Amino acid sequence: MSLMEPGRSTLQLPFGSASTGSVHLRSQAWSFLIVSSATVCVAYADYLVKSISLGYLYILPLSLSAILLSRGVSFALIGLCVFFHDLFGPPYPSIQARIAHNLTALVAFVFAVLLLQRFVAQRNSLFDLVRQQRDELVKEVGLAAQVQKLFLPTSSPAVPGFDIAAVMYPVGGVGGDYYDYIPFSNGSLGLVIADVSGKGVAAALLMSATAATIRFETSETHSLGDMVNRLNRELHALPSNSHFVTLLLGELDPRSRRLKCVNCGHNPALLLRAASGDASWLPSSCVPLGLFETVTCQPEVIDLEPGDVMVWYTDGLTEAVDAQGREFGRDGLLENVRNNRGMSAEEIVNGLYSAAIAFNRGETLADDLTIMVIRVDSIDPSPGDETKIL
């Protein structure tokens, strides 16, 4: 944080200032040059015009000095301006008139400089307060980001016969997206991807509550329908009913390659079949969670085959826009996955993210983005292989 030196009231920028002494000295030199030039110009005009008094024009360099230079320099400039006006101004009828005129100018100049310096000091105090609040907010956002990371997997799961990878890119450090891998006691793997309404810290807090609830519910029951109903009741009971959560929740059995899943108002998952090359989209099973007191979701059962690729994602991916305002959309998603379906799950994830960023002209995406890829290996798992979450 930049602090004012004693006896100074120079104008500070609201966010950031020069960090090196050389830059500060150059800035002061330019400020002094501007004020000096303005003073010389006014004095020259005062010298040329003899018919009227131009003393009021000296307020211009004095105002610049009050804003750009130190208090001592400003007060020294007041004396110089009074001297110039006395020297170059129109003649006075008497010595008493000359003294009175100079005293009046002195009082007016001092009043103007003090008023401006008070304004600048108040402005600098406000900027310092804004900096302090900004720094505190940055710390809070950083803490929220650390808390959010606690609910995310630290690595991809080791699932026999499957290659699974996921990534989340929040906007602004924290966001409302969430994904997780949850091992069940029966050897199957729970897969979760969710998108909380809103952005920023508020969405991140609701996401954390959602993640904790999902973790708790999966430890109590293995029925997808029961988990969704209980999660919906918890979210609906929150004080604000303006927030909701879209959710894709699945249970993958590596031994049978069978995936049970429910889609609660989330983006349709993409399933690309290896054998036929056909693509299908997993539609929504019910409304987003938290909007109504009860929901009814029917799980869908999908039998996966070697080479199949399934992509779960949030709307930050498909809603990336190009220079013409066109969205990346499902077509862009499908084309990219078709081109990269022979790659690993992690490479497909990275390829999708890179394609979305390139489509978005290399700029930061407008919404949080999360991608999960489930790829079926062509080699059958060996007997005794177990699912592991590292």
List the domains of the chain with CATH numbers: 21-143 (no CATH), 151-376 (3.60.40.10)
Write b or e for each residue in 236-246: b if 16 or more Cβ atoms lie within 10 A of its Cβ, otherwise e.
beeeeeebbbb
Question: What is the overall mean pLDDT for the chain?
Answer: 83
pTM tops 0.95:
no
Q: Is the pLDDT of residue 11 over 60?
A: no
Pick the more confident residue, 47 or 147.
Answer: 47
d(CA 174, CA 202): 9
Cβ burial, residue 145 (10 Å; 0-12/13-18/19+): middle
Tell me the two tokens of residue 47.
């010298």
d(CA 265, CA 55): 73
Q: Do 180 and 361 meet the contact criterion of CB atoms below 8 Å apart?
A: no
The number of beta carbons lying within 10 Å of the beta carbon of residue 278 is 9
pLDDT at 55: 84
List beta partners, residue 71: none
Asked which of 61-65, 183-187, 279-283 is least confident by mean pLDDT, the reply is 183-187
Q: Which residues contact 344 (CB under 8 A, 6 or more apart)?
A: 163, 165, 375
Q: Amino acid identity of 162?
A: F
**Dmax of the chain from CA atoms?**
115
Question: pLDDT band at residue 367, thresholds of 50, 70 and 90?
Answer: confident
Q: Is the pLDDT of residue 291 over 80?
A: yes
pLDDT at 2: 36
d(CA 275, CA 253): 21
